[in-house]
């Protein structure tokens, strides 16, 4: 991903070596940093998932102790959400938004540097307690689930680490979002009206507003936890007159938009890739923009569908059920649009297109189970089971992650100047696409049959599907090592990429050389 | 089950995944779908689940069919030339309206079922269910019956890491308890859930009932089982280390049997209260203490008192368990706020508390004297 060769840099001095990366204010360098950071986090969170699947391979406890297992599920969730998916989409935004709108860089380059460099320290603070037990197996990382429900998380004695890590992550996200909004609203090339912007830019603009709206809410929640734990307040303690359910309302007011923060940029990516390889414009550009905005709006008013079992008044349950299933409408519009774009196209199946098509199929499955979960009476049976686990992994792995991988293959030639190894990339795709379904599809059955989530051991009737799921998990995990290999191989060499890379790719980023020069669009391009 | 059989079964499972045909005899072991359960509500919920599942399947086949048709027939290698059509208000209005209509069709029966679920009036039996880390307490409010229910000893032994026990040999592994709750068939049972520590959730799939147990809240819900039998469930909300090990077993029996059970429980309680005040010999205390320890303390402090430091301290050779008896009684009876050490004052009677403290003070190399039920009574 790195444009390490200085030969393409027609411009003046930028520092080399480590200082280049530490002090950089260049959107491409910072994008690269974000992407590598998220990749490292993906492998870390993935390794934890492997521990989870190894313990669940057979009934009985074989690999880890229950507390360690809970720590793995918790850290896996936190790392994948805050360390892998979110930074990856920010990395893509950094690389692509200025090039897509014809801007020379991000609007606030120094803050951009800081937004990134907070992240590694936040991540360190988050994982540090895992190593504070003398030995690794008695690590004291958080073990209360990524949703850190009170009062359970209040029992954790290293809570301060977790809270400050969340604060830092939030700070980074807010600064990143301000930067993205400022860039998009102020730095578009003349003629690039809002309704001419590529959909990736649109989805990120809306995502950035979501982030600014909900990250402070999360910060509020963890600050109340902090004072409850260390300064004697009782926001969430029933015994002191507080309310543990209030915590869930606040958390999900952040948490539900959060899932759209992860998926909207993915929608944008897929909306870029499918038209390219269909050789046909996106069917309904305007309706895609409106659907994205509608989804973002709805995401603020449906949060309590994560809490149907807490005992809300029936009117509340009805409202949240109706509002939730409404999300199916704009989501369906999106899927229909991608379908109509492919219809009567002239399709080819280079690797980015394979991932994008897999996204459309598999994300839709996640959307269907989402609709099922939104139906409150049925949710009483689904809630907190493997059905939910299957649902959000279809949305976040075969949804968000698949789109991110598609994006990497799609823009990697632009970033590095080299074509990736198409044969290896296709192997990577097929192994991943098959194994991910072996991994997650059986989890629907497990949940429906009554297996709760977040348990380290299970009754023997769940043994067979867990075995199948674990095998799928190991293969899926290993196949991402191949991804790492392909990316490194592409950075180091490969067939020379043309400027346009894909014969019908559309957009400003394809008008600059490959690899993209260190500075692009210092004079604004002309938009027809 | 031999290794080969196991592998064969796994392979069958693997291929079934790809086939997804209707149930056949080879499938008998594989639960693939939600249970219909034994209450009207659970049946309605099942029907609702199937309705939405079928709608999704039909829509899915339609959309995926169109995509697959495109993928096959509209490829460049087949000479397809891209049409350049885009934007069509008519099409977009149609495909926005259709999902909307489908959603309304789903929302109507869902509303009806939800209203029924939330109507817990006119109950015949009321049971208060309290979640504890990591067991359930049941109080039959009108019958004056109260007891704790935790994972059965056989399951608890087998689930220890490297226990050497084949979990397939344990009956109802992880889904059996030392004492199930008993309820009458065809009677409306109201369940009031609450918690003593963190949030738990009381879930029995066959009863179609899942409700959070939250400290400071009392949540109402209900079921009316229409078939006698034994129904099993689990805690469904992550509640700490042993969240996976606090099952629920409900025995639905006919009215007479239920009445007999209530009377027996009441008599047992009277006998226990009478015995609880008496002085006990050391061997009596140790024997009873070992049992209490296994049921209440071992999960954290471990079988040889070695604990799981630093979160769960060792008892063998510890300051508390070998030091002044007053401090030891205090921590067991009242707990230690801000840690996982809970107060056992309400969970155990005087004799049990005296026995377990004596046991902890005289095991694993500790030797620090006896505690009598009367001492505990005074320390409460
Ligand atoms: Cu629990």
Per residue in A509-522, pLDDT (tens digit) is: 999 998 999 989 98
In whole angstroms, what is the distance from residue A191 CA to residue A181 CA?
A: 18
Sequential DSSP letters for B291-333:
HHHHHHTHHHH-TTS--BTTTB---TT-HHHHS-HHHHHHHHH
Contact B48 A376 (CB under 8 A): no
* Residues A181-205, mean pLDDT to the nearest whole number: 95
pLDDT higher than 50, residue B3: no
Distance from CA of A168 to the nearest CA of B (A): 26
Report pLDDT for B12.
Answer: 46
In whole angstroms, what is the distance from residue A63 CA to residue A43 CA?
A: 20
Active-site residue list of A: 76, 105, 146, 172-173, 256, 258, 260, 271, 305-306, 331, 334, 453
What are the structure tokens assigned to B319, written together?
Answer: 């300051």
C-beta separation of B285 from B359 below 8 A:
yes
pLDDT higher than 50, residue B328: yes
Q: Which of B103, B161, B167 is facing A65, going by the closest CB pair?
A: B161
Q: What is the pLDDT of residues B134-176, one digit of tens each?
A: 899 999 999 989 999 999 989 998 998 888 899 999 999 999 9
The answer for residues whose C-beta is within 8 angstroms of residue A343's C-beta and 6 or more apart is A283, B66, B70, B74
A85-89, A156-160, A374-378, B100-104: lowest mean pLDDT where? Answer: A156-160
What would the CATH number be for the domain defined by A6-511? 1.20.210.10
Q: Which of B67, B87, B308 is facing A360, going by the closest CB pair?
A: B67
Distance A158 CA to ligand 1 centre (A): 22
The distance from CA A170 to its chain's CA centroid, rounded to whole angstroms, is 15
Distance B330 CA to ligand 1 centre (A): 25
Q: Nearest 5°: CA angle at B238, between B235 and B240?
A: 105
β-partners of residue B213 are B200
The distance from CA A460 to its chain's CA centroid, rounded to whole angstroms, is 34
pLDDT higher than 50, residue B193: yes
Give pTM, 2 decimals.
Answer: 0.89
Contact A460 B309 (CB under 8 A): no
In whole angstroms, what is the distance from residue A401 CA to residue A43 CA?
A: 13
In whole angstroms, what is the distance from residue B343 CA to residue B354 CA?
A: 14
What percent of chain B is modeled with pLDDT above 90? 51
C-beta separation of A203 from A296 below 8 A:
no
B134 contact residues in A (CB cutoff 8 A): none
Helix (H) or strand (E) holding A221: helix A199-230
* Confidence band, pLDDT 50/70/90 cuts, at residue A472: very high
DSSP B202: E
What percent of chain A is modeled with pLDDT above 70? 97
Q: What is the pLDDT of residues B65-114, one digit of tens each?
A: 999 999 999 999 888 888 888 778 888 899 899 999 999 999 999 999 99
In whole angstroms, what is the distance from residue A362 CA to residue A364 CA?
A: 5
C-beta separation of A452 from A526 below 8 A:
no
Helix ranges (H only) for A79-198 are 86-101, 109-127, 159-186
B242 contact residues in A (CB cutoff 8 A): 66
In whole angstroms, what is the distance from residue A373 CA to residue A321 CA?
A: 9
C-beta separation of A200 from A269 below 8 A:
yes
Report pLDDT for A12.
Answer: 52
Helix ranges (H only) for chain B are 3-19, 40-73, 89-117, 153-158, 255-276, 282-296, 298-301, 319-322, 325-334, 350-361, 373-379
The distance from CA A527 to its chain's CA centroid, rounded to whole angstroms, is 31
Contact A244 B113 (CB under 8 A): no
Distance B133 CA to ligand 1 centre (A): 6
Distance B131 CA to ligand 1 centre (A): 6
In whole angstroms, what is the distance from residue B251 CA to residue B253 CA?
A: 6
Encode burial over A199-211: b for 16+ CB neighbours within 10 A, e otherwise. bbbbbbbbbbbbb
* Strand, helix or coil for residue A453: coil
B88 to chain A: nearest residue by CA?
A284
Q: Which of B66, B203, B244 is facing A456, going by the closest CB pair?
A: B244
The answer for residues whose C-beta is within 8 angstroms of residue A281's C-beta and 6 or more apart is A275, A341, A506, B84, B86
Contact A244 B31 (CB under 8 A): no
Which region, left, alpha or beta, applies to residue A260 given φ > 0 means left and ψ of -120 to 50 means alpha? alpha
User: Cβ of B286: how many Cβ atoms within 10 Å?
Assistant: 16
Encode burial over A30-56: b for 16+ CB neighbours within 10 A, e otherwise. bbbbbbbbbbbbbbbbbebbbbbbbbb
C-beta separation of B330 from B376 below 8 A:
no
């Amino acid at each position: 991903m790195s444009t390490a060769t200085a030969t393409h840099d027609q411009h003046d001095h930028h520092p080399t070596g480590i200082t280049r990366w530490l002090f950089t204010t260049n959107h491409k360098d910072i994008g690269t940093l974000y992407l590598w950071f998220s990749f490292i986090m993906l492998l870390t969170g993935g390794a934890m998932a492997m521990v989870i699947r190894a313990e669940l391979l057979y009934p009985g406890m074989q690999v880890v102790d229950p507390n360690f297992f809970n720590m793995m599920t918790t850290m896996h969730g936190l790392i994948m959400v805050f360390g892998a998916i979110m930074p990856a989409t920010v990395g893509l935004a950094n690389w692509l938004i200025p090039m897509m709108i014809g801007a020379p860089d991000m609007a606030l380059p120094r803050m951009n540097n800081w937004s990134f460099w907070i992240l590694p320290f936040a991540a360190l603070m988050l994982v540090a307690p895992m190593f504070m037990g003398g030995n690794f197996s008695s690590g004291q990382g958080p073990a209360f689930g990524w949703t850190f429900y009170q009062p359970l998380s209040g029992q954790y004695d290293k809570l301060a680490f977790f809270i400050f890590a969340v604060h830092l992550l939030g700070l980074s996200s807010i600064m990143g979002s301000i930067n993205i909004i400022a860039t998009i609203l102020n730095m578009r090339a003349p003629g690039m009206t809002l309704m001419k912007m590529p959909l990736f830019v649109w989805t990120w603009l809306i995502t950035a507003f979501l982030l600014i709206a909900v990250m402070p809410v999360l910060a509020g929640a963890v600050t109340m936890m902090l004072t409850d734990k260390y300064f004697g307040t009782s926001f969430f303690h029933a015994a002191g007159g507080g309310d543990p359910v209030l915590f869930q309302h606040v958390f999900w007011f952040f948490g539900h938009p959060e899932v759209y923060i992860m998926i909207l940029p993915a929608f944008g990516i897929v909306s870029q890739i499918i038209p390219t390889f269909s050789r046909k414009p996106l069917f309904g550009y305007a309706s895609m923009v409106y659907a994205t905005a509608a989804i973002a709006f709805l995401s603020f008013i449906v949060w309590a569908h994560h809490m149907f079992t807490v005992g809300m008044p029936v009117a509340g349950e009805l409202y949240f059920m109706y509002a939730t299933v409404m999300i199916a409408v704009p989501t369906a519009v999106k899927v229909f649009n991608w379908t109509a774009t492919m219809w009567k196209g002239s399709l080819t199946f280079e690797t980015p297109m394979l991932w994008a098509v897999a996204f459309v199929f598999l994300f839709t499955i996640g959307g269907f189970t989402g609709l099922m979960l939104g139906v409150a009476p049925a949710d009483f049976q689904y809630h907190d089971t493997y059905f939910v686990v299957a649902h959000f992994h279809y949305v976040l792995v075969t949804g968000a992650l698949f789109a991110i991988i598609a994006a990497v293959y799609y823009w990697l030639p632009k970033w590095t100047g080299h074509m990736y190894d198409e044969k290896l990339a296709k192997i990577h795709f097929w192994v991943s696409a098959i194994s991910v379904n072996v991994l997650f599809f059986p989890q629907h059955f497990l949940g429906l049959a009554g297996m709760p989530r977040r348990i380290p051991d299970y009754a023997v009737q769940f043994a067979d599907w867990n075995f199948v799921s674990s095998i799928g998990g190991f293969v899926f995990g290993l196949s991402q090592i191949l991804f790492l290999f392909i990316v490194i191989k592409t950075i180091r060499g490969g067939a020379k990429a043309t400027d346009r890379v894909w014969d019908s790719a559309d957009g400003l980023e394809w008008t600059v050389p490959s690899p993209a020069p260190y500075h692009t669009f210092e004079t604004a391009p002309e938009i027809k | 089950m031999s290794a080969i059989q196991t592998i064969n079964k796994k392979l069958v499972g693997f291929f079934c995944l790809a086939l997804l045909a209707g149930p056949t005899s080879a499938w008998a072991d594989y639960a693939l779908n939600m249970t219909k359960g034994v209450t009207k509500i659970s049946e309605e919920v099942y029907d609702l689940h199937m309705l939405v599942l079928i709608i999704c399947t039909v829509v899915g086949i339609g959309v995926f069919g169109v995509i697959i048709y495109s993928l096959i027939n509209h490829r460049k290698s087949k000479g397809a030339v891209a049409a350049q059509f885009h934007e069509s208000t008519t099409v977009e209005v149609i495909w926005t309206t259709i999902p909307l209509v489908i959603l309304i069709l789903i929302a109507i029966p869902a509303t009806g079922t939800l209203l029924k679920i939330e109507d817990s009036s006119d109950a015949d039996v009321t049971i208060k269910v309290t979640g504890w880390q990591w067991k359930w307490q049941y109080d039959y409010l009108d019958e004056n019956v109260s007891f704790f229910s935790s994972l059965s000893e056989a399951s608890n032994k087998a689930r220890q890491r490297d226990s050497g026990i084949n979990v397939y040999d344990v009956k109802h592994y992880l889904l059996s308890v030392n004492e199930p709750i008993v309820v009458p068939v065809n009677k409306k049972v109201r369940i009031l859930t609450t918690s003593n520590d963190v949030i738990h959730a009381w879930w029995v799939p066959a009863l179609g009932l899942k409700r959070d147990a939250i400290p400071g809240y009392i949540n109402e819900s209900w079921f009316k089982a229409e078939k006698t039998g034994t129904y099993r469930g689990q805690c469904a909300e992550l509640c700490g280390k042993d969240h996976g090990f606090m099952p629920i077993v409900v025995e639905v029996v006919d009215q007479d049997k239920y009445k007999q059970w209530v009377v027996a429980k009441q008599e047992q309680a009277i006998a226990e209260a009478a015995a609880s005040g008496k002085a006990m010999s050391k061997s009596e205390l140790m024997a009873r203490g070992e049992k209490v320890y296994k049921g209440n303390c071992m999960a954290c402090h471990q079988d040889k008192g070695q604990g799981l430091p630093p979160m769960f301290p060792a008892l063998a050779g510890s300051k508390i368990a070998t030091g002044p008896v007053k401090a030891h009684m205090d921590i067991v009876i009242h707990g230690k706020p801000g840690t996982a050490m809970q107060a056992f004052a309400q969970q155990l009677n005087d004799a049990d508390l005296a026995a377990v403290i004596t046991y902890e003070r005289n095991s694993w190399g500790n030797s620090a004297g006896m505690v009598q039920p009367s001492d505990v009574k005074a320390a409460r």
